[in-house]
Amino acid sequence: MPEVSELYEAHVRFEIEAHTGEGLRESVETEMAAIYRWLDGLEIEDVISIPEAAGLVHERLLELELDDQARESITEILLSIRQSAEADTTRFNELVSKESFDELVDMAVQMQDLKAALIQQITTSEAYSELIAHVLYRGIKNYAIEDGGIARRVPGAGSFMKLGRAALSSAAPDLERGLDQQLLAFVHANISDSIRESRHYLEDALDEELLHKVADEAWTVNSDASVGEAAAMIRPEAIEKGVDFASQTWDNLRHNPVVQDAATNVITSFIESRRGRSIGAQLAEVGLTEERAVELFLTAFGPFFQRAHDDGFLEERVRARLSAFYDQYL
């Protein structure tokens, strides 16, 4: 019968072989098969309840704070992605087909309630009112002085009125400003009717046909642009500011009761909708089959096992673990 020390050394070799080369693949395949057989008999609520899952989300996710180091790391990653993308000559029509783009447009066009809400918010904003007022003011003023009225009906009147306007502006600047103010007052007094009409026009004009036409024009103009051209438009300073803004927004959102309730509702709905289906089946539905899990594990951790073996670290840890058992018999 082998000595205890011989069994110990044989066990060490066995464990090392099971965690390197083809032995590692065989070990992972064997263990993954066992894990998936086990998961095929479990549902989510067999492992964690809805309150526990919601509490975990609140504790681990909503309490996650992006400190300075995390923000710097995120910024570095995004800047690296931008730098790589800036040298990419791939065209957008090589990344997204026209058919896929059209499907996305169809989905957006069908959101009639969203379109109506956007038009309502835009046309009732102060900025939109100022824009319409400016357009009306310039249109009325230009029509009266240059493009219409006397300037169009009387030969030479246009040049005369421009000359007279210049002289008037020099001799009596306050008078022209007063006329401008009266015109602006008239425009603002009647702006509500103009805005209402513009809202009705947008609601009627922005139909499916026009939106598809606009989308097609956007595709024609931009589909041949490269990823690098788009990346060059994003300045590094904008990325840094964007990360800071996202961090501040996240801090505000994660403490918001509405967001916390929404997270709980999402978890509850997710788990309840999957009752009666095993965890293994759900993993397979999203593409994480047993075979896929094996390949992902080997791709992610295989190099670490090999490096640990080359450095002697793997053997060191195997001996440390096994010696806790064998030392009592030596």
Cβ within 8 Å of residue 279, ≥6 positions away = 39, 40, 42, 43, 44, 47
Does the pLDDT of residue 24 top 70, yes or no?
A: yes
Q: Contact at 8 Å (CB) between 224 and 90?
A: no
Q: Work out the mean pLDDT of the chain and round it to a whole number.
A: 84
Q: Contact at 8 Å (CB) between 314 and 16?
A: yes
CA dihedral 215, 221, 225, 231 (to 10 degrees): -70
- Distance CA(66)–CA(292), nearest Å, equals 32
**263-298 pLDDT, tens digit each:** 889 999 989 998 899 999 999 999 999 999 999 999
Q: Contact at 8 Å (CB) between 66 and 74?
A: yes
DSSP lists the bridge partners of residue 91 as 226
Placement of tokens 């009647």 in the chain: 190
Computed on alpha carbons and rounded to an integer, the radius of gyration of the chain in Å comes to 35
**143-185 pLDDT, tens digit each:** 665 544 444 554 544 444 454 455 445 544 554 566 667 767 7
Q: CA angle, 48 as apex, 32 and 259 as ends, to 5°?
A: 115
- How sure is the predictor about 203, in pLDDT bands with cuts at 50, 70 and 90? confident
**304-314 pLDDT, tens digit each:** 999 999 999 99
What tokens appear for 285 in the block? Answer: 């539905």
Domain residues of the chain, as ranges? 1-43+282-330, 44-87+243-275, 94-225
pTM equals 0.61
**64-86 pLDDT, tens digit each:** 788 889 899 999 999 999 999 99
| Averaged pLDDT, 211-233 | 89
Does the pLDDT of residue 40 top 80, yes or no?
A: yes
Does the pLDDT of residue 7 top 50, yes or no?
A: yes
Q: How far is CA 2 from CA 6, 18, 165, 263, in A?
A: 6, 22, 114, 59
- Distance CA(187)–CA(137), nearest Å, equals 7
- Kindly write down the DSSP assignment for every residue of 197-217, as one continuous string: HHHHHHHHHS-HHHHHHHHHH
**Any idea how long the chain is?**
330
**108-142 pLDDT, tens digit each:** 888 888 888 888 888 888 888 888 777 777 777 67
Sign of torsion over alpha carbons 69, 74, 80, 83: negative
